[in-house]
Each structure stands twice: as structure tokens, then as C-alpha cells.
């Protein structure tokens, strides 16, 4: 029945939602969408820094955390966005939320805004890995291909990812929510291929009209800062902010994200 409903009838899966903050009369609603290999738990360091008069919800993407993990699914941004959209509609939010996405979650946030133009008030995209197939500046194209090759290698040798994930957390290169194991490695690799290597998020972001803030780290190995800066220069609704941090929202990066959210609700 699950396969019939969701695969053949194409009804999106509802996703697991964690309600971090729920004041009686919230000024705003914040939707948090995590990166690949994580879950809503990845935002736990951020929550204490947020204003207490906003409603804050964390969504586990399809295939991660406590959300469904269908083995047959294509874990691309389109599929993820349909499930996020269905989940937000089910919540019956009274106001348009501010959607905050990290890494893969930022690509999903762009797709959500593209598919459902009136669902979000504003986007905050953290460390978006915007890649494309062609680029006038050959240097950027070479960087694209280098990063895509790293993802392809991850697909080819998934056991290496699984064995290295505890070390990545220990070295504080990722949050404690990073969980790559035998049970979800196939989903992780599928998401890498479908959502990150094969993507149109950069082009899609350039078509959106709602306000977008992009935060990215100067020490981030998987984000091309020049691409984000060029996007912000071309689009008046997009603001890019550079931070001396890495890719994951931990430590000082968390404070910058909290400050950005607070500036939008106060």
C-alpha cells in the first residue's frame, strides 16, 4: 500500500517535524531544513540562540532522521520539495514562514520556493553548493568538475564515507547529528547524485522573486564563493554574506545564522 500510494499515485510522503520553540503568539515561524546525512538534530546548537517569541520547526528530509526512507525513491530536490511542501501545508501555518536551509537543505529550499511561490516569506541559504554544467569562466567550471568528482567518488566507495563519519564528527567538521551507517548509506549516496551533482538550483534561485540571504564560509571546500557573489550582484532580491567559517553550522557559524534570523524577526 505504501508503494502504491507514494510511488504509483505520486502522493508525497509527510515528513517528521520537530517543534523546537512554540510560543503562544509567535512573531514569525522559522522552518529549518538540514543538510545531507543529518536530521533536524543538526540545529540543536542554534536553537538556544534564537528569539523566544518565534515558532521554530525542524524538518527531517526524506530518507533521513525519523522521516520515511523508501528504497525506491529518487532523492532529488524535486522529490524532497514535494514532501516538504506537503508537510508545510499539513501544518496549516497562519503566516508565511522563513525557510532556512543548510547545504542540501538550501537546494531543497530553493526548489520549494520555485514550486510553491507563496509558501515562504523569505529564504536563508547556508552553504549552498551551487554547481552548473557550463560556465564562461573556465576556472569556475574546473572547480565545479573537481567537486562533482568528489561526490562521484563518494558514490563509488560508500563504505569509506561510513567509516570516516565518526572521525568527521570528532574533528568538528560536522555536527553530532551526522549519521552515515549501513542503514542509510544508500540514501546518502542517492541524495548526493540526484540532488547535488545533478541540480538546477543556481538557475532556479536566479528566477525567484522573494528576498534571499545567502551565508557562506570562506573556508568552505564545497562552496564556490564567486558563483554566489555573481548571483547576488545580478539579482537585487539576493544578498550574499561571507563568513570566516567552514561548511557546517557549528561554533561561530551558528552565531551568524542566529543573528541573521533575529534581524528578520525583530
Q: What is the pLDDT along the chain (266 residues), one digit of tens a residue?
A: 788 889 888 899 999 999 999 999 999 999 999 998 889 999 999 999 999 999 999 999 999 999 999 988 888 889 999 999 999 999 999 889 999 999 999 999 999 999 999 999 999 999 999 987 554 444 444 566 666 666 666 667 666 666 766 756 665 556 677 777 766 777 777 777 766 767 889 999 999 999 999 999 999 888 889 999 999 999 999 999 999 999 999 999 999 999 999 999 87
How far are the Cα atoms of 6, 33, 67, 89, 208 from residue 62, in angstroms, in the given order? 12, 11, 6, 16, 24
Residue 151 near residue 129, CB atoms below 8 Å: no
With H, G, I as helix, E, B as strand and everything else as coil, classify residue 125: strand
Report the CATH number that the domain containing residue 82 is assigned in CATH.
3.40.50.1820
User: Containing domain of residue 46, as a range?
Assistant: 2-265
Q: DSSP class of residue 12?
A: P
168-195 burial code (b ≥16 CB/10 A, e <16): bbeeeebbebbbbeeebbebbbbbbbbb
**Pair 186, 105: CB distance under 8 Å:** no
Rounded CA gap, 28 and 116, in Å?
19
Nearest in space to 76 (alpha carbons), one of 116, 107, 99, 102: 107
Angstrom distances, CA of residue 266 to CA of 50, 97, 101, 254, 261: 11, 15, 20, 18, 9
Q: How many domains does the chain have?
A: 1
Amino acid at each position: 500500500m505504501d508503494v502504491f500510494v507514494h510511488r504509483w499515485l505520486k502522493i508525497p510522503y509527510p515528513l517528521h517535524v520537530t517543534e523546537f520553540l512554540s510560543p503562544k503568539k509567535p512573531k514569525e515561524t522559522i522552518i529549518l531544513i538540514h543538510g545531507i546525512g543529518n536530521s533536524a538534530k543538526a540545529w540543536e546548537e542554534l536553537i538556544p540562540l534564537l528569539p523566544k517569541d518565534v515558532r521554530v520547526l525542524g524538518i527531517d528530509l526524506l530518507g533521513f532522521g525519523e522521516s520515511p526512507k523508501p528504497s525506491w525513491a529518487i532523492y532529488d530536490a524535486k522529490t524532497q520539495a514535494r514532501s516538504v511542501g506537503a508537510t508545510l501545508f499539513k501544518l496549516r501555518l497562519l503566516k508565511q514562514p522563513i525557510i532556512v536551509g543548510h547545504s542540501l537543505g538550501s537546494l531543497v529550499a530553493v526548489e520549494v520556493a520555485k514550486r510553491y511561490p507563496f509558501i515562504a516569506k523569505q529564504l536563508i541559504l547556508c552553504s549552498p553548493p551551487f554547481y552548473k554544467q557550463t560556465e564562461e569562466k573556465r576556472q569556475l567550471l574546473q572547480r565545479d568538475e573537481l567537486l562533482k568528482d568528489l561526490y562521484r567518488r563518494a558514490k563509488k566507495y560508500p563504505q569509506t564515507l561510513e567509516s570516516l563519519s565518526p572521525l568527521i564528527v570528532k574533528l568538528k567538521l560536522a555536527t553530532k547529528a551526522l549519521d552515515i551507517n549501513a542503514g542509510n548509506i544508500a540514501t546518502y549516496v542517492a541524495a548526493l547524485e540526484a540532488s547535488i551533482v545533478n541540480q538546477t538550483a543556481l538557475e532556479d534561485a536566479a528566477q525567484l522573486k522573494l528576498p534571499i540571504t545567502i551565508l557562506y564560509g570562506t573556508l568552505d571546500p564545497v562552496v564556490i564563493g564567486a558563483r554566489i557573489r555573481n548571483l547576488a550582484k545580478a539579482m537585487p532580491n539576493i544578498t550574499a554574506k561571507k563568513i570566516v567559517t567552514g561548511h557546517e553550522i557549528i561554533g561561530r557559524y551558528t552565531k551568524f545564522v542566529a543573528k541573521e534570523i533575529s534581524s528578520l524577526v525583530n
